[in-house]
Amino acid sequence: MQERVKAMGLILQFVCDNPKCREVKKTENHWWKLRRSQDGFIIVMPFNPEDQVKDDEGIFCGEPCTIKAVSEWMGGRHLTLTSSQHGGEK
Ligand SMILES: [Zn+2]
């Protein structure tokens, strides 16, 4: 699920794995990496741009995208995270 690196010259670019986001990583962003292990664990760790990103991993531009990805990975269901957040807007 990773199309992280587009090598244009020497510039490496990381793109958020949330398909609705596609934010490009900037140096100051606080990104997270998720790994789904074969026995079902979902591991969340700070993303270091020097890390390798493997096929069973995704990188996300911040907490909202990270949480959304965790939700979707849990049993493959799409939890209604966005709509429940909208409920609190008023
Ligand atoms: Zn994102």
Task: Tell me which amino acid residue 76 is.
Answer: G
Residue 75 has pLDDT above 80, yes or no: no
| % of the chain beyond a pLDDT of 70 | 68
C-alpha 60 – ligand 1 centre gap (Å): 5
What per-residue confidence (pLDDT) applies to 83?
36
Query: What is the reported pLDDT for 66?
Result: 94
Helix intervals (H) in 4-87? 63-73, 81-86
CB 75 within 8 A of CB 42: no
Domain ranges of the chain: 1-90
Average pLDDT over residues 9-27: 79
Report pLDDT for 2: 52
Distance 86 CA to ligand 1 centre (A): 18
DSSP strands (E only) in 1-90? 32-36, 42-46, 57-60
Ligand 1 being an ion, which residues bring their Cβ within 5 A of it? Answer: 16, 18, 21, 23, 61, 65
User: Quick check: pTM over 0.85?
Assistant: no
Q: Is the pLDDT of residue 50 over 80?
A: yes
- Tokens linked to 65: 């995208």
